[in-house]
Amino acid sequence: MDLTRKAAAERMALDPESLENWEKNRTRIAVRFYPVLIAFLGYNPLPEPRTRGEAVRRQRMTLGLSLARMATMAKVYPTTVCRLESDRPRMAKRPISAVLQVLGLTR
C-alpha cells in the first residue's frame, strides 16, 4: 500500500511539512509526538534499553512526556530525571522510585 506524506500526516493529525522535516532530519521529533508516531507505525522505533536510565528515557518518550512534565508528575526536579536517565550513581532511592512508579517501571 502506497501512502503519501500528506495522507500519513493526516492520519497522525500532523502538518505534512513537519513530517517532511523529520524525514529529512531538518528537525527533531518533539517528545509529545512519539505516542502518535508509535501508534501509527505499530511499533516503538526507540532503541531497546540496556540500562535503567535508558529504560526510563525510552518509557518517558514513549508516553510523550517532557523532562519537565515527568518531573512534575513524579514530584522531583527535572535535573533528577536527567540524572536518572544518564545512569548517574549514588542517587536517592525516593526520587528514583517516584519516577519509576510514574512510568510503570516498578517491579
Asked which of 7-11, 54-58, 82-86, 95-99 is least confident by mean pLDDT, the reply is 7-11
Q: Which residue spans of the chain are classified as CATH 1.10.260.40?
A: 52-103
Q: How much is the pTM?
A: 0.88
Q: What is the dihedral of CA 21, 103, 73, 34, to 10 degrees?
A: 10
Q: What is the CATH number of domain 52-103?
A: 1.10.260.40
pLDDT in tens, 32-41: 999 999 999 9
Instruction: Compute how many other C-beta atoms are within 10 angstroms of the C-beta atom of residue 1.
Output: 2
Q: How confident is the model at residue 87 (pLDDT cuts 50, 70, 90)?
A: very high
